Amino acid sequence: MGLAWTLAALATAVAVAAFANWQERRKRPLGNPPLIPYTAIQMMAIVAAILMGAHLVSLLTGQPLTSRFLR
């Protein structure tokens, strides 16, 4: 994945997380729960943003990310 695709995926993940946060905080009438689990969507978008951020660092520095546990 190139730099442009990584930046686009990072921006999309941040936008989805912000939208899910806004929907979760919205006032609703009592007894009217949301039909979509916005908290789960927000958590998945945050994980995707963290992964894209790590991939972006890897692209910009030229060093692949390696595990500390598998040496």
Q: pLDDT for 20-69, tens place per residue? A: 999 999 888 888 888 889 999 999 999 999 999 999 999 999 888 777 78
Question: What's the pLDDT at 10?
Answer: 95
What is the C-alpha R_g of the chain? Answer: 16
Query: pTM for the whole thing?
Result: 0.81
Q: How confident is the model at residue 19 (pLDDT cuts 50, 70, 90)?
A: very high
* Residue tagged 């919205």 (tokens): 26
| Cα–Cα nearest to 13, from 36, 54, 42 | 42
The residue type of 11 is A
Domain boundaries, the chain: 3-61
Question: What's the pLDDT at 71?
Answer: 62
Question: What's the pLDDT at 65?
Answer: 79
